[in-house]
Amino acid sequence: MKKYLWLISCLILSLALHAEQHAKEDNKISALPYYGSAEFTPHWFSENSPELINFHQVSDFKLINQQGEYITQDKVKNKTYVASFFFTSCPGICPKMRSQLSKVQDKFMENNDVMIISHSIQPSNDTVDVLQAYAQENDINAGKWQLLTGDQDEIYALARNAYFANEDLGEFVSQQDFLHTENLVLVDGNRHIRGIYNGLNNTSVELLLKDIRLLLSERKLQH
Protein backbone atom coordinates (compact mmCIF):
# COMPACT_ATOMS: atom_id res chain seq x y z
CA MET A 1 0.00 0.00 0.00
CA LYS A 2 2.82 2.40 0.90
CA LYS A 3 4.41 1.68 -2.48
CA TYR A 4 1.22 2.68 -4.31
CA LEU A 5 0.83 5.83 -2.21
CA TRP A 6 4.42 6.75 -3.05
CA LEU A 7 3.78 6.25 -6.78
CA ILE A 8 0.61 8.34 -6.64
CA SER A 9 2.47 11.11 -4.79
CA CYS A 10 5.21 11.09 -7.44
CA LEU A 11 2.61 11.27 -10.21
CA ILE A 12 0.84 14.22 -8.59
CA LEU A 13 4.16 16.02 -8.09
CA SER A 14 5.13 15.39 -11.72
CA LEU A 15 1.81 16.75 -12.99
CA ALA A 16 2.15 19.83 -10.79
CA LEU A 17 5.67 20.55 -12.07
CA HIS A 18 4.51 20.03 -15.66
CA ALA A 19 1.63 22.48 -15.18
CA GLU A 20 3.98 25.01 -13.59
CA GLN A 21 6.38 24.73 -16.53
CA HIS A 22 3.54 25.34 -19.00
CA ALA A 23 2.43 28.37 -17.01
CA LYS A 24 5.96 29.78 -17.17
CA GLU A 25 6.10 29.20 -20.93
CA ASP A 26 2.73 30.89 -21.44
CA ASN A 27 3.97 33.94 -19.53
CA LYS A 28 7.35 34.10 -21.23
CA ILE A 29 8.21 37.63 -22.30
CA SER A 30 8.90 38.03 -26.00
CA ALA A 31 12.52 38.46 -27.13
CA LEU A 32 11.62 41.60 -29.10
CA PRO A 33 9.39 44.52 -28.06
CA TYR A 34 6.20 45.65 -29.77
CA TYR A 35 5.72 49.17 -31.12
CA GLY A 36 2.34 50.85 -31.37
CA SER A 37 2.98 54.54 -32.04
CA ALA A 38 5.23 56.96 -33.91
CA GLU A 39 7.21 57.59 -30.72
CA PHE A 40 8.43 53.98 -30.96
CA THR A 41 8.06 53.39 -27.25
CA PRO A 42 8.83 49.68 -26.69
CA HIS A 43 6.17 47.50 -25.10
CA TRP A 44 7.05 44.08 -23.72
CA PHE A 45 4.35 41.44 -23.72
CA SER A 46 4.14 37.74 -23.09
CA GLU A 47 3.27 35.69 -26.16
CA ASN A 48 -0.36 35.19 -25.11
CA SER A 49 -0.94 38.58 -23.53
CA PRO A 50 -4.55 39.82 -23.89
CA GLU A 51 -3.11 43.31 -24.45
CA LEU A 52 -2.03 42.22 -27.92
CA ILE A 53 -5.65 41.73 -29.02
CA ASN A 54 -6.19 45.47 -29.51
CA PHE A 55 -2.56 46.48 -29.98
CA HIS A 56 -1.55 48.36 -33.14
CA GLN A 57 -1.30 46.26 -36.30
CA VAL A 58 -0.39 47.15 -39.87
CA SER A 59 -3.69 47.90 -41.59
CA ASP A 60 -5.20 46.09 -44.58
CA PHE A 61 -3.94 47.09 -48.02
CA LYS A 62 -4.38 46.31 -51.70
CA LEU A 63 -1.51 47.21 -54.04
CA ILE A 64 0.08 45.86 -57.23
CA ASN A 65 3.46 44.16 -57.49
CA GLN A 66 6.12 44.06 -60.22
CA GLN A 67 4.33 41.16 -61.88
CA GLY A 68 1.03 42.98 -62.14
CA GLU A 69 -0.57 40.95 -59.35
CA TYR A 70 -2.78 42.42 -56.64
CA ILE A 71 -1.12 42.02 -53.26
CA THR A 72 -3.06 42.28 -50.00
CA GLN A 73 -2.38 41.65 -46.33
CA ASP A 74 -3.11 37.98 -47.00
CA LYS A 75 0.24 37.72 -48.79
CA VAL A 76 2.10 38.35 -45.53
CA LYS A 77 -0.20 36.38 -43.24
CA ASN A 78 1.88 34.45 -40.68
CA LYS A 79 5.11 35.74 -42.26
CA THR A 80 7.93 37.84 -40.88
CA TYR A 81 8.61 40.70 -43.26
CA VAL A 82 10.61 43.89 -43.74
CA ALA A 83 8.80 46.96 -45.08
CA SER A 84 10.53 49.83 -46.87
CA PHE A 85 9.70 52.83 -49.05
CA PHE A 86 11.56 53.86 -52.21
CA PHE A 87 11.25 55.01 -55.82
CA THR A 88 13.08 53.55 -58.79
CA SER A 89 14.66 56.79 -60.04
CA CYS A 90 16.01 57.74 -56.60
CA PRO A 91 19.73 58.60 -56.94
CA GLY A 92 20.40 59.11 -53.24
CA ILE A 93 19.60 56.74 -50.39
CA CYS A 94 17.63 54.13 -52.35
CA PRO A 95 20.57 52.30 -54.00
CA LYS A 96 22.23 51.88 -50.60
CA MET A 97 18.98 50.66 -49.03
CA ARG A 98 18.46 48.26 -51.93
CA SER A 99 21.92 46.84 -51.34
CA GLN A 100 21.14 46.34 -47.66
CA LEU A 101 17.80 44.70 -48.39
CA SER A 102 19.57 42.37 -50.81
CA LYS A 103 21.34 40.98 -47.74
CA VAL A 104 17.95 40.09 -46.28
CA GLN A 105 16.91 38.47 -49.56
CA ASP A 106 20.13 36.45 -49.78
CA LYS A 107 20.18 35.36 -46.13
CA PHE A 108 16.57 34.13 -46.17
CA MET A 109 16.10 33.13 -49.80
CA GLU A 110 15.26 29.55 -48.84
CA ASN A 111 12.97 30.51 -45.97
CA ASN A 112 9.38 30.94 -47.12
CA ASP A 113 8.43 32.59 -43.82
CA VAL A 114 10.43 35.74 -44.60
CA MET A 115 9.50 38.45 -47.12
CA ILE A 116 10.45 41.98 -48.14
CA ILE A 117 7.87 44.56 -49.20
CA SER A 118 9.09 47.78 -50.80
CA HIS A 119 6.45 50.43 -51.51
CA SER A 120 6.99 53.00 -54.25
CA ILE A 121 6.42 56.56 -53.08
CA GLN A 122 6.14 57.69 -56.71
CA PRO A 123 3.55 55.19 -57.95
CA SER A 124 2.49 57.35 -60.90
CA ASN A 125 6.01 56.94 -62.32
CA ASP A 126 6.73 53.46 -60.96
CA THR A 127 4.34 51.47 -63.11
CA VAL A 128 4.31 47.67 -63.24
CA ASP A 129 6.62 47.71 -66.28
CA VAL A 130 9.05 50.06 -64.56
CA LEU A 131 9.08 47.95 -61.40
CA GLN A 132 9.58 44.78 -63.40
CA ALA A 133 12.58 46.25 -65.23
CA TYR A 134 13.98 47.54 -61.93
CA ALA A 135 13.62 44.09 -60.37
CA GLN A 136 15.42 42.43 -63.26
CA GLU A 137 18.26 44.96 -63.20
CA ASN A 138 18.81 44.47 -59.47
CA ASP A 139 18.31 40.70 -59.08
CA ILE A 140 15.14 41.11 -57.04
CA ASN A 141 13.36 37.79 -56.64
CA ALA A 142 9.60 38.22 -57.01
CA GLY A 143 8.89 35.30 -54.72
CA LYS A 144 10.85 36.88 -51.89
CA TRP A 145 10.74 40.61 -52.52
CA GLN A 146 7.57 42.46 -53.52
CA LEU A 147 7.87 45.87 -55.20
CA LEU A 148 4.51 47.58 -54.79
CA THR A 149 2.77 50.39 -56.62
CA GLY A 150 -0.81 51.64 -56.54
CA ASP A 151 -2.77 54.52 -55.09
CA GLN A 152 -0.40 57.14 -53.67
CA ASP A 153 -2.77 58.17 -50.88
CA GLU A 154 -3.01 54.57 -49.73
CA ILE A 155 0.77 54.11 -49.78
CA TYR A 156 1.41 57.33 -47.88
CA ALA A 157 -1.27 56.46 -45.33
CA LEU A 158 0.33 53.05 -44.81
CA ALA A 159 3.76 54.61 -44.37
CA ARG A 160 2.65 57.24 -41.89
CA ASN A 161 -0.20 55.60 -40.00
CA ALA A 162 0.55 51.88 -40.19
CA TYR A 163 4.36 51.67 -40.27
CA PHE A 164 5.26 55.10 -38.81
CA ALA A 165 8.03 54.91 -41.39
CA ASN A 166 8.33 58.64 -41.94
CA GLU A 167 8.96 59.39 -38.29
CA ASP A 168 12.54 59.60 -37.11
CA LEU A 169 12.09 57.95 -33.72
CA GLY A 170 9.62 60.53 -32.49
CA GLU A 171 10.51 63.52 -34.67
CA PHE A 172 7.26 64.24 -36.47
CA VAL A 173 6.98 65.55 -40.01
CA SER A 174 4.20 67.40 -41.75
CA GLN A 175 1.58 65.38 -43.62
CA GLN A 176 2.39 67.52 -46.66
CA ASP A 177 6.08 66.61 -46.67
CA PHE A 178 7.43 64.39 -49.42
CA LEU A 179 7.78 60.93 -47.93
CA HIS A 180 11.36 59.70 -48.19
CA THR A 181 12.80 57.58 -45.42
CA GLU A 182 15.74 55.30 -44.79
CA ASN A 183 13.82 53.40 -42.12
CA LEU A 184 13.25 49.66 -42.44
CA VAL A 185 10.37 48.26 -40.41
CA LEU A 186 10.27 44.68 -39.12
CA VAL A 187 6.79 43.16 -38.85
CA ASP A 188 5.82 39.80 -37.37
CA GLY A 189 3.32 37.20 -38.57
CA ASN A 190 0.48 38.96 -36.76
CA ARG A 191 1.25 42.31 -38.42
CA HIS A 192 2.73 43.80 -35.25
CA ILE A 193 5.72 46.12 -35.61
CA ARG A 194 8.71 44.60 -33.80
CA GLY A 195 11.62 46.80 -34.86
CA ILE A 196 12.81 49.83 -36.83
CA TYR A 197 16.27 50.05 -38.40
CA ASN A 198 18.39 52.51 -40.34
CA GLY A 199 18.72 51.06 -43.83
CA LEU A 200 21.89 53.06 -44.46
CA ASN A 201 23.75 51.73 -41.45
CA ASN A 202 25.54 48.38 -41.65
CA THR A 203 25.36 47.74 -37.91
CA SER A 204 21.64 48.46 -37.84
CA VAL A 205 21.02 46.09 -40.76
CA GLU A 206 23.06 43.36 -39.06
CA LEU A 207 20.78 43.81 -36.05
CA LEU A 208 17.78 43.49 -38.37
CA LEU A 209 19.08 40.15 -39.66
CA LYS A 210 19.55 38.95 -36.09
CA ASP A 211 16.06 40.09 -35.08
CA ILE A 212 14.47 38.32 -38.04
CA ARG A 213 15.99 35.09 -36.74
CA LEU A 214 14.62 35.85 -33.27
CA LEU A 215 11.11 36.31 -34.66
CA LEU A 216 11.37 33.08 -36.62
CA SER A 217 12.39 31.27 -33.43
CA GLU A 218 9.54 32.93 -31.54
CA ARG A 219 7.06 31.86 -34.20
CA LYS A 220 8.36 28.29 -34.11
CA LEU A 221 7.94 28.11 -30.32
CA GLN A 222 4.36 29.37 -30.59
CA HIS A 223 3.52 26.46 -32.86
Domain ranges of the chain: 1-28, 31-222
- Counting beta carbons within 10 angstroms of the beta carbon of residue 21, is it exposed (0 to 12), middle (13 to 18) or buried (19 or more)? exposed
pLDDT digits (tens, 9 = 90+) for 46-63: 878 899 999 999 999 999
State how far the alpha carbon of 25 is from the alpha carbons of 11, 183, 209, 222, in Å: 21, 33, 25, 10
Annotated binding site for Cu cation: 90, 94, 180
Does the pLDDT at position 24 exceed 90? no
Rounded to an integer, the average pLDDT of 157-162 is 93
Annotated binding site: 90, 94, 180
What pLDDT score does 181 carry? 86
Which architecture does CATH list for 31-222?
A: 3-Layer(aba) Sandwich (3.40)
pLDDT digits (tens, 9 = 90+) for 174-191: 444 556 789 999 999 999
CA dihedral 141, 146, 151, 152 (to 10 degrees): -90
State how far the alpha carbon of 48 is from the alpha carbons of 29, 33, 51, 54, 126, in Å: 9, 14, 9, 13, 41
Rounded to an integer, the average pLDDT of 84-100 is 93
Model confidence band, residue 222 (pLDDT cutoffs 50, 70, 90): low
